[in-house]
Structure 1
Amino acid sequence: MRAITNKIPSKILLKRIFPAFSLSSHSLSTSIETKSQKLDRIANELLSLNPVELHDYSILFGMRMGLKNSALASLSAGASPSGSAPPTAEAEPKEKTLFDVKLEKFDAGAKIKIIKEVRSFTDLGLKEAKDMVEKAPGFLKKGVTKEEGEAIVEKLKAIGATVVLE
C-alpha cells in the first residue's frame, strides 16, 4: 500500500478517497480554520446564556440527540449524574418576591375615592381607572414588591375596598 501512495500525488489520492473534497490544500486549511472559528463562536454564545436559557438549551439538545424523556426529566429536575435524587420542593420553598394587587369588591359610595386612589399608584387616566374599578374583581397592579403592595392594600381598605395581595 505504501508503494501505491508514494506513486499517486496527494491531491489525486484525496480526490479518490474523499470525492466530496476536491479542494486544494489551501482551501482545506481554510475550512479547518472556519470550523474552529465556528466552534469558538458557538462556545461564546453558550457561555453568554442565562441559566434559564441554558436549561432550555440542554433539554432541546437532549431531544435532538434522541435521549429518552425519562433521562431528560431527571436532567431537568436537577438530578446529579451520579444518580442521587434531587432535593424535594418541600425542603426549600421559594419565597415569593413579586405580588399582584387584586380588587375583589368595593362599596358603591366609595367608588370615586377608589378611582382616585387607583390613579395615584398607576399611570392610568380617569376613564381607564374607572373601567378597571368597575370590572372588579380584577388586578389593579401586577409585579409589585410586598411592601409596596401592602401599602396599596392598606390605603384601599381604609376607603372601603376589599383588596387582596396575591
Structure 2
Amino acid sequence: MPLSSVKIPSRSFLRRLLVLPSVAAVAGAARPLSSAAAESRTQKLERIADELLSLTKAEREDYAVLFRLKLDLNLPSGALASPGSAAADAPAAAEEKEKEKEKTAFDIKLDKFDAAAKIKVIKEVRAFTDLGLKEAKELVEKAPVVVKKGVAKEEAEAIAAKLKGVGATVVLE
C-alpha cells in the first residue's frame, strides 16, 4: 500500500495506546506498562518518525527496500513507494538510457533499401555474414530485419556505413 494512503494516528492516540495495559495484562498474565516505560517508548517512536520524515524521496525508497528485506516481505517493488517516487525514478531512467548509449554489442537492422540497389545490398550482407546467395536474398527481402546480432561498436558502424553506401537504410540497436 502506498505510504501516502497510510493514516498515521495522532500522538495522543499513540500515548494512550502505549499507556494502556497490554493484552496479556488484561488477562492477568502480566503487569501494565509503567508510565516511564511508555513515555520512553513514545519518545523513541517520535524520534524514529521524525527521522523518517526528514529523509529524501530516494532515501525513503532505499529504506522501503531495506525494510522489506529485513522483514523478509515479498512485496512488489513499488508497493511501499511514495507517490512522488515516479519523479525520483526519472534520474534512474536517464542513467539507464546512458548505459544503453554506452553499449558494446549492437544489432544491425536493415530497415529498407532502394530497389535498384537490391543486388548490391545482398552482396554486402553476404560479405559480413556466412549466408549463401539464396539465404542472403531471402533475408534482405524480409526488410526490416536484423541481419547481424551482437556486433562490436566499431565493426557495427563499419558495416552500417558500407550498407548505407550501397543504398540501404540501417539502424544500430
- TM bucket by the smaller chain? 0.3 to 0.5
Q: What is the TM-score when the length of structure 2 is the normalising length?
A: 0.46
